[in-house]
Amino acid sequence: MKHVWLIVSLFLMTGLVLLCGCTGTQKNPAAPVQGAAGEKSVLNIGYQPSTHQMAFMTAYSKGMYNETLAPLGIKEVKAYSFPTGAPEMQAMLAGDLDFAYVGAAPFVTAVATGLDGKIIAAAQTQGSSVVLKSGLNYTSPADLKGLTIATFPAGTIQDTILRTWLKKQGLDPEKDVKIVAMGPGDATTAIMAGKVDAVFLPAPSPTTIEEAGAGKIIVQSGEMEPNHVCCVLVASGKMIREHPDIVTEVLKIHEKATKYNQENWEEAAQYMEQMTAMNTSVIMKSLHEWDGAWVSDPNIIADSVTSYAQDQAALGYIKTPLSGDDLIDTSFWAKL
C-alpha cells in the first residue's frame, strides 16, 4: 500500500513550481506584460506535465530561452502548467499565453470558438494508452461495454480519439460506456482507488498506474488512430503579427530541444522530474513503453490536424468548418 500511495503522491505533485534561472514556473497566468512602445519583455508559455511536451521542459530547464531571447529584449519567460488542454486553451483565448504546448484537438476547438493563433510546429505523435483496472479481462474492444472510462475533458486529444475509436469498434460512446472527464492526477487516483474501470491518458500516467499494480496497458493510441499527431506548439496571432522574430527564435529553440531529447533520454527525464516531481525511473520506463515520438516539422501533421476538425464536427463539438490554413502556419518552419 505504501508503494501505491507514494506513487500517487508523486503524481499529484505535478503542480509543484520550481524556479530556474531568471524564469518562473507558475500555475495561473497573469496578464501578459509588455515593455514600452509595444516592446515585448515577458513571454508566457503554457505546457502540461507529460512526456509529450518534454521539449519545452528541456528548453526551459537548460536556459535555452534566456540565452536565445535576451538579445530580442525578453527579460523573463514564465511557464504555466495546466492539467489538460481545455483550461490551457481557455487561458490562451483570454490572451494570457503567448505560446502553448498543447494537444492539437483542444486547439482546434479553441480556434472554432474564436482563438487567434496558429500551430507553428509539431511536438509529438501518438503516446497515449488505455489502461484497464487490475482484475478485469480484455480480449477485444467489446469488453469495454458497460465500463466507466476516465479521460481528458471534451474536445481534447484523448477524448476525441477515444470516442472516435469506440464508434469505429461498434460501441456508442454515449450509451455503451460511461466516459468521465478528469485530469491525469485525478484519473490516476480514481483507477487506483477502483472508482473507474479504465483510463485513457498520455504518458507517463499509464506507466505510473502499472508501476503501482493498479492496471495494465491494453491499447496504445497508435493502434486506435495510427500516426496521429498529439501535441503541437501554438503561437498567438498577436505574436505572429507583431513579433515574428521572437516566434522564429522560439521555433528554433523547440527544434533544438526536440533533437536534444531524442539523443539524451535520461537527462531529458531528469529535467521533467525537476518540473513535475515525477520520478525519473518512471519517466524512463514510460519512454520505453509508449508508442510516441518527438517531432517538429508541422508539415507532417497537417492531415492529422485537419482530421481532428472533421472528427470534432462529427462529435458535435464544433460547428465551424476549419481547414489546414485556418490551423497551421508553416511559413516560420520554411525559413529555418
Q: Which of 288, 223, 41, 233 is nearest to 122 (CA)?
A: 233
Q: Model confidence over 131-189: pLDDT tens digits?
A: 999 999 999 999 999 999 999 999 999 999 999 999 999 999 999 999 999 999 999 99
Helix (H, G, I), strand (E, B) or coil at 53: helix
Q: What is the pLDDT of residue 37?
A: 41
Q: Model confidence over 215-243: pLDDT tens digits?
A: 999 999 999 999 999 999 999 999 999 99
Residue 30 pLDDT > 80: no
Distance CA 292, CA 302 (A): 17
Q: What is the pLDDT of residue 289?
A: 95
Q: What is the pLDDT of residue 261?
A: 98
Q: Would you state the cell numbers that stand for residue 149, as one nine-digit string?
A: 472510462
Distance CA 319, CA 316 (A): 7
Q: How confident is the model at residue 5 (pLDDT cuts 50, 70, 90)?
A: very low
Q: CB neighbours of 194 closer than 8 A, spacing ≥ 6? A: 133
Q: Cα-flanking dihedrals φ and ψ of residue 264, to 5°?
A: -140, 65
Q: Which of 270, 210, 231, 263 is nearest to 103 (CA)?
A: 231
- Cis geometry, peptide bond prior to residue 206 (ω within 30 degrees of 0): no
| Helix residue spans in the chain (DSSP H) | 2-12, 54-61, 64-69, 85-93, 104-112, 157-168, 184-192, 205-211, 221-224, 237-242, 244-263, 265-276, 280-289, 302-314, 324-327, 331-335
Q: What is the pLDDT of residue 183?
A: 96
Q: Using N-to-C axis directions, what is the helix angle for 104-112 and 302-314, rounded to 10°? A: 60
Q: Which of 147, 160, 158, 163 is nearest to 182 (CA)?
A: 158
Q: If you average pLDDT over residues 25-48, what whole number do you get? A: 69
Q: What is the pLDDT of residue 326?
A: 97
Q: Model confidence over 52-84: pLDDT tens digits?
A: 999 999 999 999 999 999 999 999 999 999 999
Domains of the chain plus CATH, in order, are 2-126+228-335 (3.40.190.10), 128-224 (3.40.190.10)
Output DSSP code: residue 40: B
Mean pLDDT value across the chain = 91
**What own/partner pairs with CB < 8 Å and gap ≥ 24 does 222-226 have?**
222/126, 222/291, 222/292, 223/291, 224/130, 224/161, 224/162, 224/165, 225/161, 225/164, 225/165
Q: How many CB atoms lie within 10 A of CB 88?
A: 28
Percentage of residues in the chain with pLDDT exceeding 90?
88
- Partners of 217 in the beta sheet? 131
Residue 16 pLDDT > 80: no
Q: If you average pLDDT over residues 79-93, what whole number do you get? A: 97
Which helix (H) or strand (E) is 198 found in, with range? strand 198-202
Residue 49 pLDDT > 50: yes
